[in-house]
Amino acid sequence: MAIERSADAGTQAAAPWPAVTAALAVGSVALLIPGLQPILLGELVARHALTLEGVGIVAMGEIIALGLGVVLGNALLPPGRLRQVCAAAALFVAVADVATLRLSGDAALAGMRALCGLGEGVLVWVTTSIIVRARAPDRLAGIFLVSQTLAQAAVAALLAWVVIPAAGWQGGFAVLAALTLALLAVARWLPAHLTALVAPGSARLPLTGGTVLSCLVVICQMAAIGSLWAYLDPLGRAAGYDGTAVQLLVALVLLFQVLGGSAAAVLVRRSAAVPVLLAGALLQAACAWSIHAIAGPAVERFAVSCAAFGFIWMFVMPFHVRLAFAADPAGRVAMLVPALQLLGVALGPLAAALFVAGDDARPVPAVCAAFALAAAVLLVPGLGRHARPPPPAGAAPAAGKRGPGQDSNAIAADSHFTEGRTK
């Protein structure tokens, strides 16, 4: 069935809810690993299968490969074979997760997790391809963040309470493999075909001051997040937590991410991106500096700082999509936002690893604060210049119709979608 605009420019065909739900499920499973890295990498270090210096390398390798998978998918893969691409990528990731069970050592783990990241990135590309073609892509991005974070929180709690105590870190990767294999059943609900975002010949990314600054802001803000998140386990132990308590703290932070993503999904179409992102960057720096100033056991202060950090993390991410659409209403920059976010998350641990000596992770919060302040500096010039940005392309209603903040069908598909029958 084709999903097309009707003769009335203000109306659209009904949203393919199974396709949207399937896309969110695919992306949520693909992005489990960024939320679970503190647990899995911390357990690998505790079992002497990975060194503390190697944490940043393994975390960086998988996340960079994940972002690269998104970029390669956007450049090379056919939107007309979305279901087949999703099934092949899910099978590849599951095999890589199983292969991880037999490995130890920094180099072996970094290589295998990087391969896994490529497949995860292709799965994220599948989800992103559907999000940017929605009527309200920034709001749907917020909903996606909530869904993926709920999945991360649920799996993190499962690993901390059940799986790792019984089966160690190997059990954690086995759970990831099983969940990824389940996507083989989900793929049949994806759209059979997606049309191009822009007309042929106009797909080149526009290199303007606005697009470059938007990309740099996303990278710096996410590098601040990635640097602290990858080293949450050793920082938590230094603040007075034991291994199990740190794993439960990760689940708590993920729940605060859900709150942040939920708030953003409501507010993203009612707020300008630049002021929100600037405030978020400054608050990120404050949270990081609060953790940096801990000189001994301080479990309450550490928990509060991490919870606030988690809320800000997911609150700002939908505004990256809004900022990208303000810079390029055609959606070409927005299509790259997930890859840029993942690149930032990967660069953060890499930069932090340069300052980690042995088992001492105390310099990491300062690295986080530096990245957050860099993002704030990049945003300052746009503070007075950016009025409230217009809705993303395809989201503006016709005259007399509902405005963006009143859209009762915010994640309806537009004419970019074509859905085929599933045999």
- pLDDT tens by residue, 357-413: 777 888 999 999 999 999 999 998 876 554 444 444 444 333 333 333 333 333 332
> How many domains would you assign to the chain?
1
User: Nearest 5°: phi and psi at 50?
Assistant: -150, 140
- 238 assigned to some structural domain: yes
pLDDT at 172 over 70: yes
- 392 assigned to some structural domain: no
Specify the amino acid at residue 270: R
- 407 assigned to some structural domain: no
- 12 assigned to some structural domain: no
pLDDT value of position 114: 95
pLDDT at 4 over 70: no
pTM of the model: 0.73
Domain that holds residue 68: 17-196+204-384
- 406 assigned to some structural domain: no
- 135 assigned to some structural domain: yes
Q: CATH number for the domain including 129?
A: 1.20.1250.20
pLDDT value of position 416: 37
164-169 CB contacts, 8 Å cutoff, 24+ apart: 164/39, 164/43, 164/247, 165/244, 168/43, 168/47, 169/40, 169/43, 169/44, 169/47, 169/49
- 35 assigned to some structural domain: yes
Lowest mean pLDDT among 23-27, 348-352, 401-405: 401-405
- 414 assigned to some structural domain: no
Percent of the chain with pLDDT over 90: 39
Confidence of residue 419 (pLDDT cuts 50, 70, 90): very low
